[in-house]
A and B are shown apart, each in its own frame.
Chain A
Amino acid sequence: MDGLIAHSETINKLLARYGVKFGIYKNGEFREQLFPFDPIPRVIGHEEFAYLEKGLRQRVDALNCFLRDIYGKKQILKDGVIPEEFVFSAKGYLPPCDGVVPPKGIYSHISGVDLVQSKNDSWYILEDNLRVPSGASYPMIAREFQRKSAPAAFLHNSVIDNRNYAQMLKSVMDNVNTGGINVILSPGRYNAAFFEHSYLAERTGAVLTTGSDLVCENDNLYYVDYEGRKRRVGAVYRRISDEYLDPMTFYEDSVIGIPHVFEAYRKGNVALLNAPGNGVADDKGIYYFVPKMIRYYLGEEAILQNAPTYLPYYQQDMKYTLDNFDNLVIKDVAEAGGYGVVFGNSLTKEQKADFITLLKNEPRRFIAQEVIDFYDLDILDENGGRVPRKADLRAFVLTGSTTQVWPSGLTRFSRNPNSFIVNSSQGGGFKDTWVLSR
């Protein structure tokens, strides 16, 4: 471990050398920033990981069942387990997807589940990301450099190699491929995660495209080369959001989408990873119901718990929220990336009054959660000393012929000692996540 710390400078240099960056817009200008890396890994023991693995597989399997049901028979609504209002008013619910069954019935192929560990060592699920979760490439490439700069650290620690992510991803794409090549669809180099798109393309052998070289013809998708030859595309790992995917079906002014790709998808001629419409399942309002889904679809109790959550939509929860306002964190269900998060105790009197009016007017728009007492992780400060910081873990769960959890994950931390927000867009950094094999 000391070797890693001693060589943290080397690793950061390597990250810079290999262009491990993320893009960010500041004052309307695009800039590339290095994603700050901390050399002290998060270590997850063998048994602990087995527990997480079980819980995550269960959760993602249930979420896939839910999506199949919502865009199919809607049995869970008929049985009154989830109020239909929560489903149909979710921003991510897409009527064009109703009745469309994706290849092999899989909706969420790559799921990013965010967890935190509390001081009493329990893990809690913070949110599910079933649309375009990003971040796996960072620990993947950081591991590559760590093994180069401090091989001794890996000699005795039985750390499971996490560089198999690309193979896992490739087999997930191959599993649903309808006959053709795999492509990764990126919005382009000015996207925050462009490094990841290009790196995963390089590692999986998929073709990186920004859409301009893809065309739909007779409800099939093709990739056109510079001599005008067409190759059929069987699977699209798309890193653009649903609304931009196809201007003929979704957001009409999208210039990064592929016209008519939705028709090809609907007719089963191409797989889209993840399936459009998944936003209905990772909606912050639906999150509350995931443990109920697990019980409903799998007949099991949820292994991993949600953070204690209240829905002001229910009268008793509204009362609880108002009574305990100062101890809660309130989240706007329509926002993401650490935005739209309000800590009750951070508001002035007037702000609080305004917020409560808003809450009463639009109860469906918010969820309230207990503030979890995070188990902090040490990071190295500028002087080489260890200081504790808030951190979360994004686990990557891949669904191909079976559902598997990648034996690693993206550990993000807040660089500001008083902040709970770990998102890279807001200045957070990352660590490698070690899973031990024994």
Chain B
Amino acid sequence: MGIITLEKSNNLLWLGRYTERVHTTLKYYIEATDRMIDRDPGYYAIFCEKIGIPDIYGSREAFWTRYPFDTDDPNSIFSNLYRAYDNAIVMRDYIGTETMAYIQLAIDDMKSARRVDTYLADLMLVIDHILAFWGCVNDLIYDEQTRNIIKLGKGIERLALYLSLDRPLADIHREYTRMKQFLRKSHMHYDESVLYTIDNMLFEDEVCYNTVRSLIRNLITE
């Protein structure tokens, strides 16, 4: 294809970011839910604080169902999945009907999981289909540029979330190195000085996750 407009590059970038946001927050949600069963019933407040969303839930039970499924809650996983869908549907000619289908399938999984008691197990299917989507991105999108921009979005989002979730520095270093590869290859506009600052900060003795995270979020200039 080879011609990606500014608007389309944004769609690709955000497609990467939202699919990754669904993937990582869903995994964290499943982990946190386990913790709330007996060990730490009030953990949802910390969960909200960590990923930087307002705690509008008030109870463990409300959090359990509203955070994944409530489409009226702009921070729910489902809302983020719909944003991924919004960015995918306008890019059919770049990513292909086959690849797009996995986002649709993830939406269908969400809808059917919402209806059953065993939704935790059923939510695993959403992760399966997101992974299948990533598989298609690697396997079926032949245009390097398109692939690289999606993966850059994914990388940025993962790094930002890992920093939020206080993941070990080794994980951060690994994801940062991966993200940087795609940044170079994607030809997106970014601020070289910001990258330089992050480079230095990440290898200091005391890494300030918060500062790095806000720098990462603002890396791409439009």
User: A: which residues have CB within 8 A of B?
Assistant: 16-19, 181, 188-189, 194, 198-199, 201-202, 205-210, 212-213, 223-227, 231
List B contacts of A209 (CB < 8 A): 5
Q: Are B92 and A225 closer than 8 Å at their CB atoms?
A: no
A198, A226, A227: most-surrounded residue (chain B CB, <10 A): A226
Is residue B56 contacting chain A, with contact meaning CB distance below 8 A?
A: no
Taking A189-B90, A199-B92, A202-B96 as contacts, is the C-beta distance between A19 and B3 under 8 angstroms? no
Q: Are A207 and B97 closer than 8 Å at their CB atoms?
A: no
Tell me, in angstroms, the Cα distance from A19 to B101 when the chains sit together. Answer: 7
Q: Are A202 and B3 closer than 8 Å at their CB atoms?
A: no
Q: Are A226 and B104 closer than 8 Å at their CB atoms?
A: no
Taking A226-B4, A226-B6 as contacts, is the C-beta distance between A207 and B93 under 8 angstroms? yes
**Which of B6, B92, B96 contacts A208 (CB under 8 A)?**
B92
Q: Are B7 and A212 closer than 8 Å at their CB atoms?
A: yes
Q: Are B5 and A223 closer than 8 Å at their CB atoms?
A: yes
CB<8 Å pairs between A and B, sample of 15: A16-B104, A17-B101, A19-B104, A189-B90, A198-B92, A201-B92, A207-B1, A207-B93, A209-B5, A210-B7, A212-B5, A213-B8, A223-B5, A225-B3, A226-B5
A231's nearest neighbour on chain B, judged by CB, is B3
**Which of A16, A199, A226 contacts B8 (CB under 8 A)?**
A226
Q: Are A198 and B89 closer than 8 Å at their CB atoms?
A: yes
Is residue B76 contacting chain A, with contact meaning CB distance below 8 A?
A: no
List B contacts of A188 (CB < 8 A): 90
Is residue B187 contacting chain A, with contact meaning CB distance below 8 A?
A: yes
Tell me, in angstroms, the Cα distance from A49 to B206 when the chains sit together. Answer: 77
Secondary structure of the B contact surface, majority rule: helix
Taking A16-B108, A223-B3, A226-B4 as contacts, is the C-beta distance between A189 and B96 under 8 angstroms? no
Is residue B105 contacting chain A, with contact meaning CB distance below 8 A?
A: yes
A183's nearest neighbour on chain B, judged by CB, is B3
Q: Are A225 and B5 closer than 8 Å at their CB atoms?
A: yes
List A contacts of B86 (CB < 8 A): 189
Tell me, in angstroms, the Cα distance from A206 to B92 when the chains sit together. Answer: 12
Taking A17-B104, A18-B104, A202-B97 as contacts, is the C-beta distance between A213 and B89 under 8 angstroms? no
**Which of B1, B5, B96 contacts A224 (CB under 8 A)?**
B5
Is residue B198 contacting chain A, with contact meaning CB distance below 8 A?
A: no
List A contacts of B101 (CB < 8 A): 17-19
Is residue B9 contacting chain A, with contact meaning CB distance below 8 A?
A: yes
List B contacts of A19 (CB < 8 A): 89, 92, 97, 100-101, 104
Tell me, in angstroms, the Cα distance from A202 to B105 when the chains sit together. Answer: 20
Instruction: Give me the 6 closest cross-chain CB pairs, A-B, nearest first.
Output: A198-B92, A213-B5, A201-B93, A226-B9, A226-B6, A202-B93
